[in-house]
Chains A and B, each alone.
Chain A
Amino acid sequence: MEKLRSGRATCLILGLILGLGTLPAGAGRASAADEIVIGEIHPITGPATFYGLPESRGIQLAADRINKAGGVTLGGKSYQIRIATEDDQASPTTGVAALRKLVSADVRFIIGPLASGVAPALKPIIERNDKLTQLIDGTIADDMTNGKNIFRNQATASGYNVAVVKLFSARKYKSVAMMTDRFHAGFMNSQKTLAADLKGLGVTTASEDFYKLGDTDFSATLTNLRGRNVDVLLIRGYPAEGALITKQARQLGFSGQVVWEMVSPPSTVLKNIPAAEMEGVFNCIPLTTEDYVKLGDEKAKALDQAYRGRFNEGPGELTALSYDAVYIFKAAFEKAGSLDNAAVNKAMAALKVADIPELVTRYTPQPDGRLFASDGQVDLRGEVSVWRGEGWEPASLKD
């Protein structure tokens, strides 16, 4: 009797554990006749929610606006866009499962994923499937696109580094200590080039240290930093560790300049470090939705307002990217005049920045005006922003 009961309890527990892992998130229905289904794979729950949810919402907003304005027009016929949302929890296995689910529901256009861990897991599957077109609005790791059926409208880490180099040359820093998340493929792969670029400016890289997500004690590394007397501490990773390293560096008496290279929503930053300790920290990433708003960009302001009106809070750093992604797809569909993947791929590769006036993000066009380089990557460059008061703002690099 006792045994039976405990057996049932075990089953219940197991069921619970499994069940929680596989909560369905908006399964894709088969598409109706005059509907285009775009699947989006983002971390709606899990550790990267603060990036993923605002992306998913940006996609929803764009789709709604397009639909209200008459949808996508193909050969005189108009189609409504329907978004099928899948939650990858920033985990590769969940991401692959999400992709398979979309594929089996005959979804052929994918936006996402966000996470640097998920994208490489999806790549081989998508590359081999000629009934899929993917537009990545996340990861900055290298080699995620192929220019055939995989494109990306987010910057690469090298794009971020453009801003770092700009900052160093403007401020004439002489030495840098780098601390990098060693599991972040984008930062790890681009670090050598960055160090070389900085060396070209006469900057010595005094030390390179590596940590991982979830590390909490950086005191040994930061103590050594004090001994080396460097001008800049450059942190490349995610905001929770960024905040912690910044805090511990200050406590251990580091008085140089702290520079971040990470997408870091102020709300997330402030959950981990008091605003005062962030004052004056530089960040080198492409402009965020909020930056465009602060720069007075009309399209960004409209997006910001629509977002606030619908979700009662401001958009995320990456909302604009995801929002743009839907418009990029729309432009590609219309340019292709068909929903055939091969045609859409070709059209996407040929799109010019000027073809899509709705884009919020300011991409640098390729020399021939195209949005994507032949490898499917946009040219999006980092800009320097600085923490003032409660958040980031575009920095002026003149002293």
Chain B
Amino acid sequence: MLELLPQQLANGLALGSTYALVAMGLTLIFGVLLIPNFAHGEFYMLGAFITYALVASGLNFWLAMAAAVVLVTGIGWIVDRVVFQPIGSAPGHSAAQGSGLSMMISALAGSIILQQVATIIWGTEARTIPAPMTGVIQTPYFTITALQLTVIGTLTAAWIAVWLVLHRSRLGLAIRATSQNRDAALLMGISMTQVRLATFGIGAALGAVAGALLGATFPIYPSMGVTPVLKAFVVLVIGGIGSLPGAIAGGLVLGMVEVMVAGYGASQFQDIGTFVILVAVLLIRPQGLFGRAQVER
């Protein structure tokens, strides 16, 4: 069994990076706008389906993925405008945010509607995007597919790109300020419209990238986003809500744990492993691996 450990670690890394990729967009939107965006799973699903449709009509995978990212970004804006903004500005809520519950309910409604639309367009049968690459890389210790490496590479690239936007641009400064203290950010003269557009845009784009890449590995169908988004919420709790490094570390930890449980325990306990680690984190470090405990001064 131990000689399989390197392979299991590689499996865990590959699986974990898929979780992290989905969690990144979710944590960004949650961290900045305090929206529990269940519809993120549908950004992921639409990224996959649009890529699928374009590849099926003959477009190169990477171009299809780029187009899907652009389209899903637009859809993200529409979802924010139609689903979330009306709640945020409805009377009875402070201007700062809609109540968590109504946000959650409308996020679910948005998610269901997007799934239904996809069902009408594409039907419910599972399919897989023809993989843009099929190679398998053999090392003495483990095997990994070129596509898995691409996912890991994309995760790294996405992290760097988002980090650069957040830490090296004025817009990023505004986004970070909003996530730390929305009212204070308003007092600085930061435009919430801009921050929302940017955050939802980046979040949806990340979801679409994840969908396109993972749709070439896993079957795609209209409700494919439901489980990943639940997993991503788990990742958020593990990593620390609103923390990008947390999303990545949380995703990798979750992937590793699941693979180890399935590999050295029993495959049917894979999901139980998820919740054991969730409960453990909540007990030992409730703010998550990368979350900061709230300190009032």
Interface set of A (CB-CB < 8 Å, partner B):
2-3, 5-6, 9-10, 13-14, 16-17, 20, 45-47, 49-50, 182, 209-211, 214, 216-221, 223-224, 226-227, 240, 243-244, 251-253, 268, 271-274
Contacts and interface: CB of A to CB of B under 8 A. Distances in A.
Given A219-B14, A272-B126, 7 more contacts: A6-B86, A216-B218, A220-B8, A226-B7, A244-B218, A251-B145, A268-B125
Interface string B112-129: 110010010001111110
Q: Please list the 5 inter-chain residue pairs (A to B) with the smallest Cβ-Cβ separation, ordered nearest first.
A: A271-B127, A220-B262, A220-B263, A219-B11, A240-B126
Nearest to A45: B124
A94 to B, nearest CB: 13
A289 B268 CA distance: 35
Nearest to A1: B91
B267 A211 contact: yes
Nearest to B125: A50
B149 to A, nearest CB: 12
B227 interface: yes
Contact of B4 (A5, A210, A223, A274): A223
B3 interface: yes
A217 B126 contact: no
Contact of B109 (A17, A20, A273): A17
B218 A220 contact: no
A9 B86 contact: yes
B155 to A, nearest CB: 16
A49 B218 contact: no
Interface string B126-138: 1110100010101
A227 B86 contact: no
Contacts of B89: 2
B219 to A, nearest CB: 5
B283 interface: no
B123 A16 contact: no
B268 A210 contact: yes
**SS class, residues of chain B in contact with chain A:** helix
A3 B91 contact: yes
B112 A17 contact: yes
A216 to B, nearest CB: 4
Nearest to B145: A251
18 contacts: A2-B89, A2-B90, A6-B87, A13-B109, A13-B113, A47-B125, A47-B221, A49-B124, A217-B15, A217-B18, A218-B267, A219-B14, A220-B259, A223-B8, A224-B4, A240-B126, A240-B221, A268-B126
A252 B138 CA distance: 9
Contacts of B124: 45-47, 49
A378 B216 CA distance: 41
Given A2-B91, A47-B221, A251-B143, A220 B125 contact: no
B100 interface: no
Nearest to B224: A214
Nearest to B130: A274
B7 A252 contact: yes
Given A210-B267, A210-B268, A243-B128, A216 B8 contact: no
Nearest to B227: A214
Interface string B222-266: 001001000000000000000000000000000000111111001
B92 interface: yes
Given A272-B126, A272-B128, A227 B4 contact: yes
B258 A271 contact: no
Contact of B263 (A211, A221, A240): A221
